[in-house]
């Protein structure tokens, strides 16, 4: 049980402090453990920040330190760790630096909430950055803190729209006229199946690796009744998430940016500007925002894989009409569940790879060079001979995409999909 918070702290700070597994002792022990794994200057910052965060008012005054000094130490910790997180490939980043970054974010969020009139949005952003870039610490306390802060923000009123936050009005809506989905012929249509047994799905689709649309298998999911743009804004509007800016990741102008869900909705869904598309493609969204995770489940068909349930990767895909995933392959089996809106999807067997002209670079070797709906047949003449299947995926439908199957996806309107990758 967490130690009692120091007198003088705000009610919010007290509720956040209570989330710590064992209060002051927990933080100080973690700081001491990390001090043995990082350079001396960073270890000193850890100890100082931990002491200021955990100390009572008398101790803080004796050290001549207040809220600002505590924040400065926390930010210096984050800055040191940020540099280490970005010096090379992510897989080579040491776990200790991800933990340092998480503790820096934790200390910063606690400092921001220590006094009445807390900067809730700034504290929540610190929690989200720690969740996205750090490692879980203190029983994943940053996720628990983020839930508390989001509730407080929801009670205090709706967050300001992106343009209002910056003091600049957003431009008038200007939407592109997106083409309808191509006509789907009977011969090319993906097969549809209602609630097949696990044995039937395994024998007729999983083992032979054949795409199929599964119907009525997720009808019980609350998200199909609850989710809308407004609902996502309500439960996650203040949360900071990574957003892909650009209609497709192979475009030269494509980039990634961190912004709140509110900003994303305001800029790219409600006030989408000509030739600008943003897409929330998040591999951690459901861990970051448990309210959304509670509205979905893991389809039983995923249990036919070789891995454990915790090995199943759950991904969120939220964006406006016109967003495109270029023709590409994934290294795992995929169950793609459509929750909001519709998507046009075209599928090519791995046997067609020679006709699909994959990029030669290592980074994009799983992505075709061909623009599926506007192919350059002079440059890519074999593409015309490639046979395919296609479909329009609607809410409540689940598409099984076998491992290695090429697939192209275009959102026909504002869309939210959930995919399950499993081995």
CATH number at residue 298: 2.60.120.650
Q: Where does the pLDDT of residue 124 fall: very low under 50, low under 70, confident under 90, or very high at 90 and above?
A: very high
Q: Does residue 84 belong to any structural domain of this protein?
A: yes
Does one domain contain both 135 and 261?
Answer: no
Note whether residue 168 is domain-resident.
no
Give a yes or no: residue 388 inside a domain.
Answer: yes
- At 215 the pLDDT is 97
Find the mean pLDDT for residues 332-339: 97
User: Rounded CA gap, 18 and 179, in Å?
Assistant: 53
Record the tokens describing residue 1, joined without a space: 């049980």
Q: What is the pLDDT of residue 228?
A: 95
**Mean per-residue pLDDT for 106-134?**
87
Q: Tokens 């900067």: give the residue.
A: 119
Residues 120 and 234 occupy one common structural domain: no
The residue-averaged pLDDT of 185-193 equals 94
265, pLDDT greater than 80? yes
- 57: pLDDT confidence band, cut at 50, 70 and 90? low
Residue 389's domain spans which residues? Answer: 192-422
pLDDT computed for residue 157 by the predictor: 58
Q: Which residues contact 135 (CB under 8 A, 6 or more apart)?
A: 95, 98, 99, 101, 102
Residue 405 belongs to a domain: yes
Does pLDDT of 242 surpass 60?
yes
Q: What is the percent of the chain where pLDDT is above 70?
A: 83
Residues 125 and 234 in one domain: no
Q: Would residue 73 count as lying in a domain?
A: yes
Q: How confident is the model at residue 51 (pLDDT cuts 50, 70, 90)?
A: confident
**How far are the Cα atoms of 89, 186, 223, 285, 415 from residue 232, in angstroms, in the given order?**
32, 36, 10, 12, 12
Residue 85, pLDDT above cutoff 70:
yes
- For residue 376, being part of any structural domain is answered with yes
Q: Is 184 among the domain residues? A: no
The answer to whether residues 218 and 114 belong to one domain is: no
Structural contact between residues 38 and 57, judged by C-beta atoms closer than 8 angstroms: no
Q: Which residues contact 198 (CB under 8 A, 6 or more apart)?
A: 300, 301, 303, 304
Last residue of a domain, one of 156, 183, 201: 156
Tell me the pLDDT band of 194, cut-offs 50, 70 and 90: very high
Q: How far is CA 48 from CA 9, 41, 69, 101, 120, in A?
A: 19, 11, 10, 15, 24
Q: What is the C-alpha separation between 412 and 409, in angstroms, rounded? A: 9
**Cβ atoms 76, 45 nearer than 8 A:** yes
What's the domain count of the chain?
2
């Amino acid at each position: 049980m967490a130690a009692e918070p120091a007198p003088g702290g705000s009610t919010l700070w007290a509720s956040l402090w209570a989330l710590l597994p064992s209060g002051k002792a927990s933080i100080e022990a973690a700081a001491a453990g990390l001090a043995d794994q990082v350079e001396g200057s960073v270890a000193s910052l850890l100890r100082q920040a931990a002491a200021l965060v955990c100390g009572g008012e008398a101790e803080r005054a004796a050290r001549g330190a207040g809220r600002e000094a505590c924040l400065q130490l926390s930010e210096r910790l984050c800055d040191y760790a940020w540099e280490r997180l970005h010096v090379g490939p992510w897989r080579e980043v040491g776990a200790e630096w991800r933990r340092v970054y998480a503790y820096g974010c934790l200390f910063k969020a606690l400092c921001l909430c220590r006094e009445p009139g807390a900067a809730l949005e700034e504290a929540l952003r610190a929690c989200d950055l720690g969740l996205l870039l750090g490692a879980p610490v203190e029983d994943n306390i940053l996720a628990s803190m983020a839930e508390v802060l989001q509730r407080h923000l929801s009670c205090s009123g709706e967050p300001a729209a992106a343009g209002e936050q910056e003091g600049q009005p957003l431009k008038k809506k200007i939407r592109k006229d997106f083409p309808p989905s191509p006509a789907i012929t009977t011969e090319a249509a993906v097969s549809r199946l209602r609630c097949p047994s696990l044995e039937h799905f395994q024998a007729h689709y999983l083992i032979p690796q054949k795409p199929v649309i599964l119907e009525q298998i997720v009808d019980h999911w609350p998200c199909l009744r609850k989710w809308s743009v407004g609902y996502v804004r309500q439960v996650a509007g203040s949360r900071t998430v990574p957003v892909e800016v650009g209609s497709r990741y192979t475009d030269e102008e494509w980039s990634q940016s961190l912004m709140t869900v509110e900003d994303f909705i305001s800029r790219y869904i409600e006030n989408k500007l000509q030739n600008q598309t943003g897409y929330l493609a998040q591999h951690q969204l459901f861990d970051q925002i448990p309210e959304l995770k509670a509205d979905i489940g893991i389809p039983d068909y995923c249990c036919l894989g070789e891995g454990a349930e915790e090995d199943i990767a759950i991904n969120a895909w939220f964006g406006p009409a016109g967003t495109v995933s270029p023709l590409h392959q994934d290294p795992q089996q995929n169950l793609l569940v459509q929750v909001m809106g519709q998507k046009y999807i075209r599928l090519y067997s791995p046997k067609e790879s020679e006709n699909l002209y994959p990029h030669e670079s290592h980074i994009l070797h799983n992505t075709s060079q061909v623009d599926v709906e506007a192919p350059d047949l002079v440059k890519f003449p074999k593409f015309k001979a490639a046979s395919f299947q296609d479909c329009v995926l609607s809410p409540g439908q689940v598409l099984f995409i076998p491992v290695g199957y090429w697939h192209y996806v275009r959102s026909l309107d504002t869309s939210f999909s959930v995919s399950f990758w499993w081995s």
